[in-house]
């Protein structure tokens, strides 16, 4: 090959890589726009009758976070969903059902006050049981596909505030619903473009 042919081949390859980078940037922009729209939709349906302390919605790059104060969902030390909680979860489930391309992780958080009951050894148990209680309501009451649901317990180890005050402990007791893109679908999209 001549030097001229090598340069042309290199420029062609660079052009293809540039097109691929632009494709990825558009995909990321689209995903981010969809997350912002999803966050806005959630704020509009969940803010009715609730304060910012009760429910917080945050959009951070690839995920949407819905943090729900435990006082809306559970009685102290319990993992049994309250009737008020089902009203909140129904609104969340309606939005989730309309977004089948998302996975849903439910994380339970506690304060650092020790708990020990006949069915719970510690705050790890409480956080996981609360998470699975929310998962079961989403699946059984609102027909969210179980293959989309992930239960996680965080216990006391990721506090929002200090556990030294009553207010801080109250903020730390929460359930967070994380709406995430199915990464396998995103990677399949990228792979199909490479080929």
What domains can be seen in the chain, in order of their start residue?
Answer: 3-194 (3.30.1330.60)
Q: Measure the CA–CA gap between 165 and 138, rounded to whole angstroms.
A: 32
Q: Measure the CA–CA gap between 47 and 162, rounded to whole angstroms.
A: 26
| Residue 193 pLDDT grade (very low, low, confident, very high; cuts 50, 70, 90) | low
| Residue 167 pLDDT grade (very low, low, confident, very high; cuts 50, 70, 90) | very high
pLDDT at 190 over 80: no
More confident residue, 101 or 128: 128
What angle is formed at CA 75 by the lines to CA 73 and CA 78, rounded to 5 degrees? 95
By CB atoms closer than 10 A (0-12, 13-18, 19+), residue 172 is buried
What's the distance, CA 171 to chain centroid?
18
Q: To the nearest whole number, what is the mean pLDDT of the chain?
A: 83
Expressed in angstroms, the distance from the first to the final Cα of the chain is 26
The DSSP code for 178 is E
Q: Measure the CA–CA gap between 93 and 66, rounded to whole angstroms.
A: 12
pLDDT at 35 over 70: no
Cβ neighbours around 55 below 10 Å, total:
21
Give the model's pLDDT for residue 59: 80
Instruction: Give the contacts of 13 (CB within 8 A, at least 6 positions apart).
Output: none
Give the model's pLDDT for residue 164: 96
Contact status, residue 179 vs residue 41, Cβ threshold 8 Å: no
**pTM of structure:** 0.76
Nearest to 151 by CA among 140, 141, 136: 136
Cβ neighbours around 131 below 10 Å, total:
25
């Amino acid at each position: 090959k001549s030097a001229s042919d090598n340069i042309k081949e290199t420029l062609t390859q660079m052009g293809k890589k540039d097109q691929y980078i632009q494709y990825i940037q558009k995909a990321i922009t689209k995903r981010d726009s969809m997350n912002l729209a999803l966050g806005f939709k959630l704020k509009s349906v969940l803010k009715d009758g609730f304060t910012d302390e009760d429910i917080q919605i945050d959009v951070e790059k690839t995920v949407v976070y819905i943090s729900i104060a435990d006082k809306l969902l559970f009685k102290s030390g319990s993992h049994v969903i309250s009737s008020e909680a089902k009203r909140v979860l129904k609104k969340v489930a309606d939005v989730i059902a309309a977004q089948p391309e998302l996975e849903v992780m439910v994380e339970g958080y506690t304060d650092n006050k020790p708990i020990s009951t006949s069915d719970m050894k510690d705050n790890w148990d409480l956080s996981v049981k609360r998470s699975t209680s929310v998962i079961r309501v989403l699946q059984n009451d609102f027909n969210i596909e179980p293959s989309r649901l992930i239960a996680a317990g965080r216990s006391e180890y990721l506090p929002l505030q200090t556990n030294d005050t009553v207010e801080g402990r109250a903020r730390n007791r929460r359930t967070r619903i994380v709406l995430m893109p199915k990464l396998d679908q995103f990677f399949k999209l990228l792979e199909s473009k490479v080929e």
